[in-house]
Amino acid sequence: MSLKCVAVLEGHCDRVWSVAWNRKGDLMASCSSDKTIRLWTKREDVWVCETELSEGHQRTIRSVAFARFDDNYLASCSFDATTCIWDKSKGNWDCTLNLEGHENECKSVSWSASGRFLATCSRDKTVWIWERIDEEYECASVLTSHTQDVKKVLWHPKDDLLVSCGYDNTIRLYREEDDDWSCYETLDAHESTVWSIDFNKTGDKLASCSDDKTVRIWKFNGSKWSCVCTLSGYHQRSIYDISWSRCTNLIATAAGDDRICIFKEDETSEDDYRLVCKHESAHLCDVNSVEWNPVDSELLASCGDDNLVKLWRIKHS
């Protein structure tokens, strides 16, 4: 298997931190240290920047996420400690809400599948759960389990179950019990910062990537999560992002060694994963984020410190 670059999207004038697809897979958002969000779409077979959102944040925009219940909503969070909600239901993308509360840099934002919740996390070591009530967002909980900078939050693909990871090397899982959110499990096998996590399609497996240069696969056995596989030796520097395809079950990783790697579950033994593609120099500098298109099963988006967003297509050999 190999990756072929099918589009190089220029426009950002500083490092690009994150890419995200909408639910239909026809719109991609990227965000950057240049304080803008760019929305990319395909017009007559060419990928173009449809919109640039430059009002909203005062500092680096660290991550973006489309709502999973409605493609008219986008959330972005920034080093300026705020989260913006962008709404397209009236025609243009407008920043309709600005969620404040974190003490410093906001690192990640995620919508729950139900659309009822939004989660944000920050260097202030907290994870906030916001409840959406009539187009307004109320803080439902402030979770303080992490002892350090929280790098990423992610909701389960089906349930209102939240996962976070960070600088304290741990992954933590949260759920609501009797109207109160709490951390009910901590996964602490990584030896350094856990940069990112992603669930498989059904949500019974979780992949994590870390500054310790490994990827770990976790499996839920009905009562607990346990690490069933550790992939090491494939990246030489910090692994910044991981994306588990809901279409093909392939796992893509982005790292500080400029590589994108793709792993596949072994057909013969379930908990074994093997490298099926290693693409060197995917970007000229660190690759910060990767995300599989949710509909077009062979399309992957990436972005990097070289200010570029790239689109890749899988080629089966």
Shortest approach of other proteins to residue 72 CB, angstroms?
30
Shortest approach of other proteins to residue 46 CB, angstroms?
28
Q: Minimal CA–CA distance to 221: which of 233, 205, 232, 208?
A: 205
Q: Which of residues 196-225 bind other proteins (CB under 8 A)?
A: 211
DSSP string, 157-168: SSSS-EEEEETT
According to CB under 8 A, which one of 47, 49, 50, 59 is a site residue for other proteins?
Answer: 59
According to CB under 8 A, which one of 212, 241, 265, 286 is a site residue for other proteins?
Answer: 286
Answer yes or no whether residue 306 interacts with other proteins by CB under 8 A: yes
Answer yes or no whether residue 278 interacts with other proteins by CB under 8 A: no
Instruction: Report the C-alpha gap between 203 and 205 in whole angstroms.
Output: 5
Site string for other proteins, 106-135 (x = CB under 8 A): -x---------------x------------
**Which stretch in 46-54, 56-64, 112-120, 247-255 sits in contact with other proteins by CB under 8 A?**
56-64
- Pick left, alpha or beta for residue 249 (phi over 0 → left; psi -120 to 50 → alpha; otherwise beta): left
Residue 185's contacts (CB-CB under 8 Å, 6 or more residues apart) are: 172, 173, 224, 225
Q: Which of residues 174-193 bind other proteins (CB under 8 A)?
A: 192-193
Question: Can you state the percent helix, strand and coil of the chain, rounding each to 5?
Answer: 0, 55, 45
CA 153 from centroid of its chain's CA atoms? 8
Q: Which is nearer to other proteins, 198 or 306 (CB)?
A: 306
Are 219 and 271 within 8 A, CB to CB? yes
What Å distances lie between residue 308 and 282, 284, 285, 301, 304, CA to CA? 11, 9, 10, 11, 6
Answer yes or no whether residue 285 interacts with other proteins by CB under 8 A: yes
Binding site for other proteins (CB under 8 A): 15, 33, 59-60, 62, 79, 105, 107, 123, 149, 151, 167, 192-193, 211, 237-238, 256-257, 284-286, 305-306
